[in-house]
């Protein structure tokens, strides 16, 4: 008998952009395999040919592509090539998982409302680079990470969920990064799953979750 699929909902198609180790990509692969993430990981795209995350994609049988930004002297040419490559896979959701290129407004607008980033700080603190060292230098007693919608403002789109970790006396930035990654691997697939379930959207520059406008720092994740 042919199953009646008239009302079957197609799975959310996710394209993941990476630049490096891809441990967050691995968290998405694991969440999919454990059925905590009801999505198809349709492609991984890296701007760096040597990104070890590409090996994670290969091991998981996910199609991958490299679009090396160094081959594009003009940022906009890189962005347009990348946008076309992403669009080829017809994604419902684009995940920036340690993707270390600033994207043009043209790129961001094309995927507006369906692109999530993870940034290793408790935004609005420390947008940009070297977040953990900056938290140490400021004498902070906690660090953390934020999943947020991507807008053309660098690390400035509306937050969805944040997770904090303590800074312990004697910590190096690398110690903090390792602790933060542990939280990222939980909250990033979790936020993506909210999107897959149709619970999450960006509206008028704010995050809407289950019909509720979230506070400017998003939901707080408690481990």
Q: Give me the residues that bind ligand GAR (CB under 6 A), please.
A: 18, 20-24, 53, 97-98, 100, 118-120, 145, 181, 184
Complex with ligand GAR: residue 136 or 208, whichever CB lies closer: 136
Shortest Å, Cβ 52 to ligand GAR: 8
CB of 221 to ligand GAR, least distance (A): 14
Residue number of the CB closest to ligand GAR reads 98
State how beta strands 200-203 and 206-209 pair.
antiparallel
Catalytic residue among 69, 119, 132, 148: 119
* Residue whose CB is less far from ligand GAR, 100 or 208: 100
> Angle at CA 136, nearest 5°, toward 103 and 150?
20
- Residue 18 or 191 with smaller CB distance to ligand GAR: 18
Nearer to ligand GAR, 154 or 213 (CB): 154
Gap between the Cα atoms of 52 and 60, Å rounded: 13
Which three-class secondary structure state does DSSP give residue 214?
Answer: coil
E strands of the chain, at which residues? 12-18, 39-46, 64-66, 93-96, 115-119, 142-149, 159-166, 200-203, 206-209, 212-213, 219-221
Closest CA to 81 of 102, 67, 95, 64: 67
Our answer to whether residue 119 is catalytic in this structure is yes
- For 67, the enclosing helix (H) or strand (E) is none
Q: Decide whether 53 or 159 has the Cβ nearer to ligand GAR.
A: 53
Shortest Cβ 25–ligand GAR spacing (Å):
6
Strands 93-96 and 115-119: parallel
Beta strands in 47-158 (DSSP E): 64-66, 93-96, 115-119, 142-149
Q: How far is the CB of 74 from ligand GAR (least distance, A)?
A: 22
Minimum Å distance from CB 28 to ligand GAR? 10
Which residues are annotated as catalytic? Answer: 119
């Amino acid at each position: 008998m042919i199953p009646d699929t008239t009302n079957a909902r197609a799975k959310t198609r996710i394209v993941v952009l990476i630049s490096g180790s891809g441990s967050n990509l691995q968290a998405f692969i694991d969440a999919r395999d454990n059925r905590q993430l009801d999505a198809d990981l349709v492609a991984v795209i890296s701007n760096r040919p040597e990104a070890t995350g590409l090996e994670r994609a290969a091991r998981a049988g996910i199609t991958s592509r490299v679009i090396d930004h160094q081959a594009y002297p003009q940022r906009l040419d890189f962005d347009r090539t990348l946008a076309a490559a992403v669009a080829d896979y017809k994604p419902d959701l684009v995940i920036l998982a340690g993707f270390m290129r600033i994207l043009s407004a043209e790129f961001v607008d094309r995927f507006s409302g369906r692109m999530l980033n993870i940034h290793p700080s408790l935004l609005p603190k420390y947008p940009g680079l070297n977040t953990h060292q900056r938290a140490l230098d400021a004498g902070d007693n906690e660090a953390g990470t934020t999943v947020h919608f991507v807008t053309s403002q660098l690390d400035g789109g509306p937050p969805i969920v944040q997770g904090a970790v303590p800074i312990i006396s004697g910590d190096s930035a690398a110690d903090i990064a390792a602790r933060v990654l542990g939280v990222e691997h939980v909250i990033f697939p979790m936020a993506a799953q909210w999107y897959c379930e149709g619970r999450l959207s960006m509206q008028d520059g704010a995050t809407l979750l289950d019909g509720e406008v979230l506070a400017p720092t998003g939901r707080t994740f408690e481990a």
